[in-house]
Amino acid sequence: MKLTIERTALLKSLGHVQSVVERRNTLAILSNVLLTAGPEGLSLNATDMDLEIVETAPAEVVGEGATTAPAHTLYDIVRKLPDGAQVELSFEPEDGQLTLRSGRSRFALAALPAGEFPAMSSGAYGHTFSLAAGELRSLIDRTRFAISTEETRYYLNGIFLHAADNGGVAVLRAVATDGHRLARVEMPLPEGAAGMPSVIVPRKAVAELRKLIDEADDDITVSLSESRIRFAFGSATLTSKLIDGTFPDYERVIPTDNDKLLEADCKLLHQAVDRVSAISSEKSRAIKVSLEKGSLTLSASSPEAGSAVEEIEAGYEGPPLEIGFNSRYLLDILQQVDGDAARFAIADNASPTVVQDVADQTAVYVLMPMRV
Amino acid sequence: MEPSTRRWFPGSNRAASGFTLAAMPSLCRDCLHHDATPFPDACPRCGGRRLVAHDELETLSIAHVDCDSFYASVEKRDRPELADKPLIVGHAGGRGVATTACYIARRYGARSAMPMYKCLELCPHAVVLPPDMPKYRRVAEEIRAIFAAVTDCVEPVSVDEAYLDMAPEHRRGDAGAAVLLADVALRVEQEIGLTVSVGLGPNKFLAKLASDMNKPRGFTVIGQAEARSVLAPLPVERIHGVGRALAGRLTAQGWTTIGHLQALGEMELTLRHGKLGRRLYHYARGLDERRVTPVRPAKSVSKETTFRRDLHRLADLEAELAGLTDSLAGALARKEVAGLTVVLKLKTSGFRTLTRNRRLPEATRRAEVILAAARLLLARELADSPGDSYRLIGVGLADLCPAEQADPPDLFAPGGEGRP
CB contact under 8 A, B408 and A177: no
Q: Looking at the structure, do residues A193 and A98 belong to the same domain, yes or no?
A: no
Q: Looking at the structure, do residues A201 and A277 belong to the same domain, yes or no?
A: no
- Could you tell me if residue B44 is inside a domain? yes
Q: B113, B134, B155: which is the final residue of a domain?
A: B134
CB contact under 8 A, B410 and A151: no
For residue A178, which residues of chain B lie inside 8 Å, CB to CB?
A: 361
Q: Looking at the structure, do residues B77 and B186 belong to the same domain, yes or no?
A: no
Whether B360 and chain A come into contact, CB under 8 Å, resolves to yes
CA torsion B174-B180-B186-B188 (nearest 10°) is 110
Q: Looking at the structure, do residues B43 and B167 belong to the same domain, yes or no?
A: yes
Phi, then psi, of A2 in degrees rounded to 5: -155, 135
Q: Looking at the structure, do residues B103 and B75 belong to the same domain, yes or no?
A: yes
Burial of A86 (0-12, 13-18, 19+ CB in 10 A): middle
Q: Looking at the structure, do residues A154 and A210 belong to the same domain, yes or no?
A: yes
Please give the angle made by the CA atoms of B169, B175 and B181, to the nearest 5 degrees. 90
pLDDT band at B14 (very low <50, low <70, confident <90, very high): very low
CA B78 to each of CA A49, B63, B102, B142, B145: distance values in angstroms, whole numbers, following the listed order: 64, 28, 14, 15, 20
pLDDT at residue A64, as a whole number: 96
Q: A200, A224, A251: which is the final residue of a domain?
A: A251
Mean pLDDT of chain B: 87
The residue of chain B with its CA nearest to that of A280 is: B405
Question: For residue B222, what is the domain's CATH number?
Answer: 3.30.70.270
pLDDT at residue B296, as a whole number: 60
For residue B361, which residues of chain A lie inside 8 Å, CB to CB?
A: 148-150, 178
For residue B369, which residues of chain A lie inside 8 Å, CB to CB?
A: 152
Whether B351 and chain A come into contact, CB under 8 Å, resolves to no
Q: Looking at the structure, do residues B104 and B250 belong to the same domain, yes or no?
A: no
* d(CA B313, nearest CA chain A) in Å: 21
Q: Looking at the structure, do residues B94 and B125 belong to the same domain, yes or no?
A: yes
CB B256, CB B92: distance < 8 Å: no
CB A225, CB A123: distance < 8 Å: yes
* Backbone CA torsion sign across A159, A164, A170, A175: negative
CB contact under 8 A, B411 and A371: no
Q: Looking at the structure, do residues B150 and B210 belong to the same domain, yes or no?
A: yes
- Could you tell me if residue B5 is inside a domain? no
CB contact under 8 A, B363 and A284: yes
Nearest CB to B409: which of A178, A286, A369?
A: A369
What are the tens digits of pLDDT across the range B376-398? Answer: 999 999 988 888 899 999 999 99
- Could you tell me if residue A372 is inside a domain? no
Residue B11 has pLDDT above 70, yes or no: no
Q: Looking at the structure, do residues B197 and B153 belong to the same domain, yes or no?
A: yes
Q: Looking at the structure, do residues B277 and B315 belong to the same domain, yes or no?
A: no
CA torsion B228-B229-B235-B236 (nearest 10°) is 10
Residue B156 has pLDDT above 60, yes or no: yes
- Region B122-131 average pLDDT: 91
Count helices and strands in chain A by DSSP H and E runs: 6, 26
* d(CA B375, nearest CA chain A) in Å: 10
Q: Where are the beta strands (DSSP E) in B267-336?
A: 300-311
Range of the domain at B124: 70-134
Establish whether B161 is a catalytic residue.
Answer: yes
Q: Mutating which of A160, A254, A280, A368 best tests the B interface, going by the most B Cβ atoms within 10 A?
A: A368
Distance CA A209, CA A141 (A): 11
Distance CA B284, CA A169 (A): 80
Distance CA B6, CA B9 (A): 9
Helical pair B244-252 and B266-284, crossing angle rounded to 10 deg: 130
Q: Looking at the structure, do residues A133 and A244 belong to the same domain, yes or no?
A: yes
CB contact under 8 A, B418 and A248: yes
Nearest CB to B410: which of A179, A249, A252?
A: A179
CA B280 to each of CA B62, B230, B231: distance values in angstroms, whole numbers, following the listed order: 20, 16, 12
Whether B31 and chain A come into contact, CB under 8 Å, resolves to no
Residue B7 has pLDDT above 70, yes or no: no
Closest CA to A336 of A354, A352, A355: A355
Percent of chain B with pLDDT over 90: 53
Whether B263 and chain A come into contact, CB under 8 Å, resolves to no
Neighbours of A96 (CB within 10 A): 13
CA A148 to chain centre: 12
Helix, strand, coil % (nearest 5) of chain B?
Answer: 35, 25, 40
- Could you tell me if residue B21 is inside a domain? no
Closest CA to B127 of B146, B145, B100, B154: B100
Nearest CB to B416: which of A248, A283, A286?
A: A248
Whether B18 and chain A come into contact, CB under 8 Å, resolves to no
- Could you tell me if residue A306 is inside a domain? yes
pLDDT at residue B420, as a whole number: 29
Total of domains in chain A: 3
Q: B86, B112, B134: which is the final residue of a domain?
A: B134
Phi, then psi, of B51 in degrees rounded to 5: -110, 150
Q: Looking at the structure, do residues B56 and B164 belong to the same domain, yes or no?
A: yes
pLDDT band at B412 (very low <50, low <70, confident <90, very high): confident
Distance CA B416, CA B402 (A): 27
pLDDT band at B10 (very low <50, low <70, confident <90, very high): very low
Q: Looking at the structure, do residues A80 and A47 belong to the same domain, yes or no?
A: yes
Q: Looking at the structure, do residues B389 and B315 belong to the same domain, yes or no?
A: yes
The residue of chain B with its CA nearest to that of A180 is: B410
CB contact under 8 A, A248 and B405: no
Under DSSP, the state recorded for A243 is P
Q: Looking at the structure, do residues A136 and A66 belong to the same domain, yes or no?
A: no
Nearest CB to B411: which of A182, A281, A284?
A: A182
CB contact under 8 A, A152 and B373: yes
Q: Mutating which of B356, B411, B417, B419 best tests the A interface, going by the most A Cβ atoms within 10 A?
A: B411
CB A285, CB A328: distance < 8 Å: yes
- Could you tell me if residue B1 is inside a domain? no
Q: Looking at the structure, do residues B362 and B313 belong to the same domain, yes or no?
A: yes
Question: For residue B254, what is the domain's CATH number?
Answer: 1.10.150.20
DSSP string covering A278-337, please?
Answer: TTS-TTT-EEEEEEETTEEEEEEEETTTEEEEEEEE-EE-S--EEEEEEHHHHHHHHHH-
CB contact under 8 A, B411 and A286: no
Neighbours of B140 (CB within 10 A): 21
Q: Looking at the structure, do residues A109 and A168 belong to the same domain, yes or no?
A: no
- Could you tell me if residue A17 is inside a domain? yes
Q: Looking at the structure, do residues A23 and A90 belong to the same domain, yes or no?
A: yes
Distance CA B312, CA B386 (A): 9
Q: Looking at the structure, do residues A145 and A221 belong to the same domain, yes or no?
A: yes
For residue B344, which residues of chain A lie inside 8 Å, CB to CB?
A: none
- Could you tell me if residue A362 is inside a domain? yes
Burial of A99 (0-12, 13-18, 19+ CB in 10 A): middle
Q: Looking at the structure, do residues B267 and B160 belong to the same domain, yes or no?
A: no
- B66 annotated binding-site participant: yes
Q: Mutating which of B380, B412, B419 best tests the A interface, going by the most A Cβ atoms within 10 A?
A: B412
CB contact under 8 A, B361 and A283: no
- Overall pTM surpassing 0.95 (yes/no): no
Total of domains in chain B: 4
Whether B101 and chain A come into contact, CB under 8 Å, resolves to no
* d(CA A179, nearest CA chain B) in Å: 5
Please give the angle made by the CA atoms of B171, B173 and B177, to the nearest 5 degrees. 50
CB contact under 8 A, B412 and A179: yes
* d(CA A150, nearest CA chain B) in Å: 7
CB contact under 8 A, B361 and A148: yes
Active site residue: B161, B169, B226, B289, which one? B161
Q: B134, B150, B178: which is the final residue of a domain?
A: B134
- Could you tell me if residue A122 is inside a domain? no
Nearest CB to B419: which of A149, A177, A352?
A: A352
User: Omega before B216 cis (within 30°)?
Assistant: yes
* d(CA A291, nearest CA chain B) in Å: 21
* d(CA A86, nearest CA chain B) in Å: 42
Q: Looking at the structure, do residues A225 and A265 belong to the same domain, yes or no?
A: no
CB contact under 8 A, A351 and B420: yes
Distance CA A134, CA B65 (A): 71
- Could you tell me if residue B11 is inside a domain? no
- B174 annotated binding-site participant: no
Closest CA to B206 of B185, B225, B221: B221
Question: pLDDT tens digits, chain A, 372 residues: what are they?
Answer: 999 999 999 999 999 999 999 888 778 899 999 999 999 999 999 999 999 999 999 999 999 999 999 999 999 999 999 999 999 999 998 888 999 999 999 999 999 999 999 988 767 899 999 999 999 999 999 999 999 988 888 999 999 999 999 999 999 999 999 999 999 999 999 999 999 999 999 999 999 999 999 888 889 999 999 899 999 998 999 999 999 999 999 999 999 999 999 999 999 999 999 999 998 877 778 899 999 999 999 999 887 778 999 999 999 999 999 999 999 999 999 999 888 999 999 999 989 999 999 999 999 999 999 887
Q: Looking at the structure, do residues A96 and A159 belong to the same domain, yes or no?
A: no
- Could you tell me if residue B169 is inside a domain? yes
* d(CA A346, nearest CA chain B) in Å: 13
Q: Looking at the structure, do residues A217 and A329 belong to the same domain, yes or no?
A: no
Question: For residue B329, what is the domain's CATH number?
Answer: 3.30.1490.100
Question: For residue A60, what is the domain's CATH number?
Answer: 3.10.150.10
Using DSSP's 3-state secondary structure scheme, residue A108 falls into strand
- Could you tell me if residue A121 is inside a domain? no
pLDDT at residue B97, as a whole number: 83
- Could you tell me if residue B415 is inside a domain? no
- Could you tell me if residue B20 is inside a domain? no
Q: A116, A139, A170: which is the final residue of a domain?
A: A116
Q: A61, A92, A116: which is the final residue of a domain?
A: A116
Range of the domain at A271: 254-367
Nearest CB to A151: which of B376, B404, B405?
A: B376
Residue B17 has pLDDT above 80, yes or no: no
